[in-house]
Amino acid sequence: MAFELTDQNFEDRVKTGVTVIDFWAEWCGPCRMIAPIIEELSVEYKDKALIGKLNVDENPEVSMKYGIRSIPTILILKDGEVAAKHVGTTSKQNLARIIDDQLSSAQA
């Protein structure tokens, strides 16, 4: 299951490695469409990357810090820095490719 990120635990959880964050909200239809993909990726990348979800309505500080204006927004962080960003829905294959790219460059 995807890790639930909050304003309180965010800084501690995203310091190192590759982190994928799904910025979402309960009322967002496209967010509900992408949610099962995020859950599947959280299982598949369990030991390689932190896959998390952050509810923008409940966690405004992190959302504001990264300038999230549209949801769903997927941010891929590497060692706490934004390495890639995708706004809107997308396929599981596309997200997996982006994650794999970041994982392989992290090992290089």
In angstroms, the CA 59 to CA 16 distance is 21
pLDDT higher than 80, residue 107 = no
Distances (CA, A) of 24 to 5, 20, 86, 94, 104: 11, 13, 13, 18, 27
Residue 15: which domain range? 3-107
How many domains does the structure of the chain reveal? 1
pTM: 0.93
Active site positions, annotated: 28, 31
Per-residue pLDDT, 108: 52
- Has residue 106 got a pLDDT over 90? no
Query: Could you tell me the CATH number of the domain that includes residue 34?
Result: 3.40.30.10
